Amino acid sequence: MKVIIAGATGYIGQELLAQCLAHPSITSIVALSRRDVGIVNPKLRVCLMKDADYLSYADPAVAEELKGAGACLWALGLRPSQALDEQHTRRVCVDYTAAAAAAFQRAHTTEGSPTGPSVVPFRFVYVSGALAERDQSRSLWFAGGMRRLRGETENVLLRHAEANPGLFEAFIMQPGLVPSKEGTLRDRLWSLVPSVRKDYLAKAMIEIALRGNAETTVSNLAINEMGRVG
Query: Residue 31 is inside which H or E element, if any?
Result: strand 28-33
pLDDT of residue 118: 53
Integer Cα distance of 116 and 96 in angstroms: 26
- Give whole-number Cα distances, 150 to 76, 126, 174, 218, in Å: 12, 10, 10, 14
Q: Are 200 and 223 in contact, with CB atoms under 8 Å apart? A: yes
pLDDT of residue 112: 45
Amino acid at 50: K
pLDDT of residue 119: 67
pTM comes to 0.92
pLDDT of residue 109: 81
Average pLDDT score, the chain: 90
* Percent of all residues in the chain with a pLDDT value above 70, rounded to a whole number: 93
Integer Cα distance of 224 and 43 in angstroms: 28
Integer Cα distance of 25 and 206 in angstroms: 10
pLDDT of residue 229: 83
For the stretch 64-111, pLDDT in tens is 999 999 999 999 987 666 656 788 889 999 999 999 999 999 998 874
- Give whole-number Cα distances, 47 to 60, 71, 115, 155, 189, in Å: 11, 16, 21, 27, 37
Return the CATH class of domain 2-228: alpha beta
Integer Cα distance of 155 and 31 in angstroms: 25
pLDDT of residue 23: 97
For the stretch 169-226, pLDDT in tens is 999 999 999 999 888 999 999 888 999 999 999 999 999 999 999 999 999 999 999 9
- Give whole-number Cα distances, 166 to 47, 104, 105, 225, in Å: 28, 14, 11, 27
Integer Cα distance of 28 and 209 in angstroms: 13
Question: Which of 97-111, 123-137, 158-172 has the highest average model confidence (pLDDT)?
Answer: 158-172
Band (pLDDT 50/70/90 cuts) for residue 114 is very low
Total Cβ atoms within 10 A of residue 49: 20
Integer Cα distance of 29 and 36 in angstroms: 14
Band (pLDDT 50/70/90 cuts) for residue 230 is low
Amino acid at 120: V
Q: Domain residue spans in the chain?
A: 2-228
